[in-house]
């Protein structure tokens, strides 16, 4: 009963081309048309600027693997960024600020998960509703104003280096390592594949899909909390519209990175490359003096193309 001949070995390299080619093409494009793109300073800038997106795109990958979506991430990031600013301003403690951001972010993530898993509302509408709520709370807690004068301990997070490497990059790398370990080497990660691939299988195995689903969304919210700290540090203030729309870049990175919106087929390294693609695209367009509006539009086109290709691939 030798069957192995029929089976092709799983080869992650087969999937690299899509996103890697996009990234290489973008780099090639901007190194020719954008002066200064290839400088060390600029490339390091791209990396540092991509860190906040990394923090959102990694949990977004997990959420999309469960055939879900989190449209509230940008608004929640805005809210947590404000919480970090307000609490650190009041207590002069970076850690308390981070704690507040984490708490609020995780609470929103938990609410998203509860609405999706227990109440059963389709993810895109549930998180659209919480998007409105987070956006509203941001306006309410800040009264529509920027929160300024935050302590140095917060600001330094963004500018400090560790062994010559900027701290945000260290944080992003640690986050990536943590997510990689979580998804590929833990039971929880295994069950995330099952949440999107075959939820019944989890029930047969005596596990509760609902609790797992809530956990996945809660992780997304908590990560928005950590990203909120970076955002506040980067802007040296809390601003009530700072992170709006960032979830779109995160979805773009996941989609370009080859994670499928169906059947629990996710790929974290692809998401990382997707984040870099979005980062390079925005940075390059910026260097050739195209306004951020054009950057937004081109990311939109990138997503639609990626989804179209994803659709073609899943049909093939």
**Contact call for residue 96 and other proteins (CB under 8 A):** no
Q: How many residues bind other proteins (CB under 8 A)?
A: 78
SS3 292: helix
Pick the binder of other proteins from 28, 90, 95, 125 (CB under 8 A): 125
Q: Which stretch binds other proteins (CB under 8 A): 24-32, 55-63, 127-135, 162-170?
A: 127-135
The footprint of other proteins on residues 134-153 (CB under 8 A) is: 134-137, 139-140, 143-144
CB 217 within 8 A of CB 65: no
* Site residues (CB under 8 A) for other proteins, limited to 275-294: 290-294
Q: Taking CB under 8 A as the rule, does residue 179 contact other proteins? A: no
Cα–chain center distance at 199: 24
Which residue do the tokens 């779109």 mark? 248
28, 95, 308, 313: which one binds other proteins (CB under 8 A):
308
3, with CB counted inside 10 A (0-12, 13-18, 19+), is exposed
Asked if 40 interacts with other proteins (CB under 8 A), we say no
8 Å CB contact between 76 and 135? no
Closest separation in Å from C-beta 273 to other proteins: 19
Out of 120, 163, 164, 289, name the contact with other proteins by CB under 8 A: 120
186 binds other proteins (CB under 8 A): yes
Question: Looking at 20-28, 81-89, 160-168, 244-252, which segment touches other proteins (CB under 8 A)?
Answer: 244-252
CB of 132 to other proteins, least distance (A): 3
Q: Which of 16, 96, 287, 307 binds other proteins (CB under 8 A)?
A: 307
- Residue tagged 């908590």 (tokens): 222
* Binding of other proteins by 264 (CB under 8 A): yes
Segment interacting with other proteins, rule: CB under 8 A, options 34-42, 167-175, 263-271, 272-280: 263-271
Count how many residues are written for the chain.
316
d(CA 193, CA 126): 22
| Residue 70, phi then psi, degrees to nearest 5 | -130, 95
Of 234, 49, 238, nearest in space to 156 by CA: 234
What residues numbered 100-119 form the site for other proteins, per CB under 8 A? 115, 119
Distance CA 218, CA 253 (A): 20
Beta carbons of 230 and 168 less than 8 angstroms apart: yes
193 is a contact residue toward other proteins (CB under 8 A): yes
CB 63 within 8 A of CB 70: yes
Instruction: Mark residues 197-236: x for contact with other proteins by CB under 8 A, - for none.
Output: xx-xxxxxxxx-----------------------------
CA distance 55 to 6: 40
């Amino acid at each position: 009963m030798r069957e192995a001949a029929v089976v092709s070995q799983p080869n992650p390299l087969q999937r690299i081309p899509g996103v890697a080619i996009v990234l290489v093409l973008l780099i090639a494009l901007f190194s020719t048309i954008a002066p200064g793109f290839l400088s060390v300073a600029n490339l390091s800038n791209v990396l540092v600027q991509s860190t906040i997106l990394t923090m959102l795109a990694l949990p977004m990958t997990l959420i999309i693997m469960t055939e879900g979506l989190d449209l509230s991430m940008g608004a929640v990031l805005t809210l947590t960024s404000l919480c970090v600013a307000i609490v650190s301003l009041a207590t002069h403690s970076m850690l308390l600020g981070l704690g507040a951001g984490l708490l609020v972010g995780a609470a929103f993530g938990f609410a998203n998960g509860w609405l999706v898993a227990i109440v059963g509302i389709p993810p895109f509408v549930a998180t659209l509703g919480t998007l409105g709520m987070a956006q509203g709370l941001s306006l309410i807690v800040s009264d529509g104003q920027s929160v300024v004068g935050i302590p140095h301990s917060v600001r330094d997070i963004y500018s400090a280096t560790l062994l010559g490497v900027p701290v945000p990059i260290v944080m992003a790398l640690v986050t990536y390592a943590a997510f990689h370990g979580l998804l590929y080497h833990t039971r929880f990660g295994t069950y995330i594949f099952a949440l999107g691939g075959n939820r019944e299988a989890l029930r047969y195995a005596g596990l509760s899909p609902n609790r797992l689903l809530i956990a996945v969304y809660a992780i997304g919210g908590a990560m928005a909390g950590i990203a909120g700290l970076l955002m506040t540090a980067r802007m040296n203030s809390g601003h009530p519209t700072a992170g709006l729309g960032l979830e779109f870049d995160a979805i773009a990175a996941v989609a370009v990175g080859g994670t499928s919106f169906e059947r629990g087929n996710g790929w974290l390294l692809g998401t990382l490359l997707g984040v870099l693609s979005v980062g390079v695209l925005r940075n390059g367009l910026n260097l050739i003096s195209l306004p951020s509006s054009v950057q937004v539009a081109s990311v939109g086109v990138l997503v639609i193309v990626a989804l179209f290709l994803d659709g073609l691939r899943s049909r093939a």
